Amino acid sequence: MRRSCLLLVIAAALVAARPAALTADDTSPTLTVPYTQFTLPNGLHVILHEDHTVPEVAVDVWYHVGSAREKPGRTGFAHLFEHLMFEGSGHVKEGDFDNFLEAAGGNNNASTSEDRTNYWITVPSNALELALFLESDRMGYLLDVVSPAMVDGQRDVVKNERRQGVENAPYGEAEVRLGELLYPPDHPYHWPVIGYMKDLTAATQQDVIDFFKKYYAPGNASLVVAGDIDPVETRALVEKWFSDVKPGEFVEPIDAPPAVLREVKRETLEDRVQLPRLYLAWLTPKQFAPGDADLDLVAQVLTGGKNSRLYKRLVFDEQIAQNVTAFQNSAALGSSFQIIVTAKPAPGGKTESSQQMIGRVKQVVDEELDRLRAAPPTDRELERTVNRIEASFYDRMERVGSFGGKADLLNAYYTETGDPDFFNEDLSRYRAASVSDIEAAVRRWLPKDKRVELTVLPEAGK
């Protein structure tokens, strides 16, 4: 019988992985993050990483379910569950999840994407068992407390979040529309992660129960415990708290229809904004597929810093853009490359329409893309780009907990590649790239005649 959590003591902290020594034949350090792993009889896969840098431990759970697992007419469930998971469970009263962690000096949060929902807890080492108790209780006993009132309450919270982040946010509708234009209606990435308002309204308690039983089971999850731990003791604690969670049903792989752009899709929206904005988007290779890392480098060459090509030309030289960003939006079923430019009124008091502003911006973007299609970037540009990516990579590894920290990366690599210690292989994708790889990626994946062009203009008369 499971007991309530009162004086639960533990050990876990954080250790930054250190590059191994350089060899005579190697100019780049080899990165490795040691770990042990095992699978409980109920299917839960567990990864342990020992790091005694500080007296802190991270408990990181990935449920391999995101908005891509939803169905048309029932969207928003993955994100709704992110909220429900903090409302108490069979042995934790509503509000006590946060109360217990705050009293122990810990913190927690969660996030939802198309492909997964992750939850993380970071606590002092002596509170590890508390974190494991709380995480296991909501995995195994959430349905003991789910009621129609709870579903209604969190549904309203999510709907309000959508109002703030989509309906009432500048350019909020554009992000939703971009996914709809990139992917066909039956593709799992067509609808937004937060879901549609009518689908959230239609959600019932039984829908929630069915979703939990299918996807929030040990066999569809992975747990990372990283930090100031003793692996043997930690394994015993994991077995103690998670072994009684019942296994769920088999979760079949996603069978996604193909997404293909055969032409330019153009659309214009009006919004309550002051400045027009241009979105350009292409369909690109899925995460870790050939071309994925090269497009990360393309994004850095275009907008990574004040000396990048688009930022320098649009914002500094010609002063026709307020800001510009480009990124490879990597995902499991396929990715998208996006360039987003917020236009700026012409200097010197010149008067031009919003459409003219967007036209000038798009012309510059296409000119810079044509330059990369015709000739590779310089060696200096590539070096600067790889250095920025390496710095960001090591910065994430210095944190054991929170989103994007080392525990979360171990879970991500396991989920996406089957290898928790994929750190060196990931970074090596960028270190091995050449300037010709960047040129080839632009030519192959960013054609001018097969993309989405979405424009957001200020409402007429505004």
Taking only the tens place, the pLDDT of each residue in 121-146 is 999 999 999 999 999 999 999 999 99
Cβ–Cβ < 8 Å for 48, 229 = yes
Inform me whether the pLDDT recorded for 211 exceeds 70.
Answer: yes
pLDDT bucket at 2, cuts 50 / 70 / 90: very low
CA angle 250, 256, 261 (to 5 degrees): 165
Q: Which of 112-121, 151-160, 296-305, 341-350 has the lowest mean pLDDT?
A: 341-350
Query: Rounded mean pLDDT of 108-124?
Result: 97
Q: Which of 20-29, 84-93, 374-383 has the lowest mean pLDDT?
A: 20-29
According to the 3-state scheme, what is the secondary structure of 378-407?
Answer: CHHHHHHHHHHHHHHHHHHHCCCCCCCCHH
pLDDT bucket at 255, cuts 50 / 70 / 90: confident
Report the alpha-carbon distance of residue 351 to residue 354 in Å, rounded: 10
Query: Rounded mean pLDDT of 196-215?
Result: 91
Quick one: how many helices (H) and strands (E) in the chain?
A: 15, 11
pLDDT > 70: percent of the chain: 92
pLDDT bucket at 348, cuts 50 / 70 / 90: low
Report the alpha-carbon distance of residue 423 to residue 421 in Å, rounded: 5
Which two tokens mark 271? Answer: 């919004």
Query: Rounded mean pLDDT of 351-361?
Result: 89
- Residue carrying structure tokens 């710095």: 391
Give the 3-state secondary structure percentages of the chain, helix then strand then coil, rounded to 5.
Answer: 45, 20, 40
Inform me whether the pLDDT recorded for 116 exceeds 90.
Answer: yes
Q: pTM for the complete prediction?
A: 0.90
Query: What per-residue confidence (pLDDT) applies to 21?
Result: 32
What dotted CATH number matches 36-242?
3.30.830.10
Which amino acid appears at position 233 of this protein? E
Higher-confidence residue of 421 and 349: namely 421
Inform me whether the pLDDT recorded for 184 exceeds 50.
Answer: yes
Query: What per-residue confidence (pLDDT) applies to 53?
Result: 93
According to the 3-state scheme, what is the secondary structure of 218-243?
Answer: HHHEEEEEEECCCHHHHHHHHHHHHC
Cβ–Cβ < 8 Å for 343, 357 = yes
Helix (H) or strand (E) holding 362: helix 354-374
Other beta carbons within 10 Å of 417: 14
Inform me whether the pLDDT recorded for 198 exceeds 70.
Answer: yes
Give the residue among 302, 294, 304, 373 at the shortest CA–CA distance from 330: 294
Q: Which of 182-191, 225-234, 269-278, 395-404 has the lowest mean pLDDT?
A: 395-404
Give the residue among 225, 172, 246 at the shortest CA–CA distance from 47: 225
> What stretches of 277-332 show up as alpha helix (H) in DSSP?
292-303, 309-310
Query: Rounded mean pLDDT of 61-68?
Result: 97
Beta strand extents in 173-260 (DSSP E only): 221-227
pLDDT bucket at 90, cuts 50 / 70 / 90: very high
Inform me whether the pLDDT recorded for 418 exceeds 70.
Answer: yes
Map out the domains of the chain as residue ranges.
36-242, 265-376+434-458
Q: Which of 292-296, 313-317, 323-327, 402-406 has the lowest mean pLDDT?
A: 402-406
Query: What per-residue confidence (pLDDT) applies to 28?
Result: 57
CA 460 vs. chain centroid, Å, equals 35
pLDDT bucket at 13, cuts 50 / 70 / 90: very low
Query: What per-residue confidence (pLDDT) applies to 403?
Result: 85
pLDDT bucket at 203, cuts 50 / 70 / 90: confident
Inform me whether the pLDDT recorded for 269 exceeds 70.
Answer: yes
Q: For residue 149, with 0-12 CB atoms within 10 Å meaning exposed, 13-18 middle and 19 or more buried, which class applies?
A: exposed
Residues with Cβ within 8 Å of residue 217, at least 6 apart in sequence = 43, 245, 246, 247, 248, 249, 251
204-232: b (≥16 Cβ within 10 Å) or e:
eeeebeebbeebbbbbbbbbbbbbbbbee
Report the alpha-carbon distance of residue 156 to residue 165 in Å, rounded: 14
Which two tokens mark 135? Answer: 């995480």
Which amino acid appears at position 262 of this protein? R
| Whole-number average pLDDT of the chain | 91
Query: What per-residue confidence (pLDDT) applies to 460?
Result: 80
- Strands 221-227 and 321-329 turn out to be unpaired
Phi, psi of 324 (to 5 degrees): -150, 140
Annotate 104-146 with DSSP letters as a single string: HT-EEEEEE-SS-EEEEEEEEGGGHHHHHHHHHHHHHHGGGT-
Inform me whether the pLDDT recorded for 188 exceeds 50.
Answer: yes
Inform me whether the pLDDT recorded for 10 exceeds 80.
Answer: no
- CATH superfamily of the domain spanning 265-376+434-458: Metalloenzyme, LuxS/M16 peptidase-like (3.30.830.10)
Query: Rounded mean pLDDT of 80-105?
Result: 95
pLDDT bucket at 461, cuts 50 / 70 / 90: low
User: Are 36-242 and 265-376+434-458 the same fold in CATH?
Assistant: yes
Report the alpha-carbon distance of residue 280 to residue 446 in Å, rounded: 10
Query: What per-residue confidence (pLDDT) applies to 204?
Result: 86
pLDDT bucket at 346, cuts 50 / 70 / 90: low
Report the alpha-carbon distance of residue 171 to residue 269 in Å, rounded: 9
